[in-house]
Amino acid sequence: MNINKILTLILIILLAPLFGGLYGILHDQLTYTISPEYYTKFKFYQFGLMDEGNEAIFPNPRIQISQVGFLATWWMGLPIGLILGLIGLVHENSNQMFRVTLKAILITVLVAFATGLIGLAFGKLYLADAGVDWWLPENLIDRENFIAVGSMHNFSYLGGLTGLIAGVIYSIRRKRIRKI
């Protein structure tokens, strides 16, 4: 193994949490649009941005949404970057390793987002009517969208794992294609 591949692996491991955090920011901006209460009555408290009590109201909540999104997902980038980076070592050189691994990370993100959208639909079309055993705020106004967004968040983590598997398969297939 050459030094360029090791440096590329380190770069991938450093970049992946940034991609994970960026995904979280965009994901949470979308889900805030669907259910502001999910943040003002739950996530802001969960992430310590407000003390328990009244509804959390900020002058520009999109900044706090970004903060919550980043904090919720950056850490997923670490294992994803490490696993995909290590698998990327099979490629011929550091340039190919970097290109294929970044595409594998993109695949992971896209699968996570698509799975999250399935979770949103499941939450909206099924869970909102069937009910959930999650904690729900007592003063909740839009219960249906709160549950739908909660479902999207849960499914997105499952999507991260599913996306990682898809990214691994992509990287290995790219190596096999190169051998033919």
What are 38-53's pLDDT values in tens digits? 999 999 999 999 877 6
Closest C-alpha among 20, 15, 53, 13 to residue 156 = 20
Mean pLDDT of the chain: 95
- Is the separation of the CB atoms in 128 and 152 below 8 Å? no
Tokens representing 64 are 């706090």
pLDDT at 117 over 80: yes
Mean pLDDT of 15-20: 98
pLDDT tens-digit profile of 50-104? 877 666 789 999 999 999 999 999 999 999 999 999 999 999 999 999 999 999 9
pLDDT recorded at residue 57: 82
pLDDT above 70 as % of the chain? 96
With tokens 């249906």, the residue in question is 144
Closest C-alpha among 25, 54, 28 to residue 39 = 28
177 falls in which pLDDT band (50, 70, 90)?
Answer: confident
Backbone angles phi, psi at 174, to 5 degrees: -60, -40
pLDDT above 90 as % of the chain? 88
- Say what the pTM is: 0.92
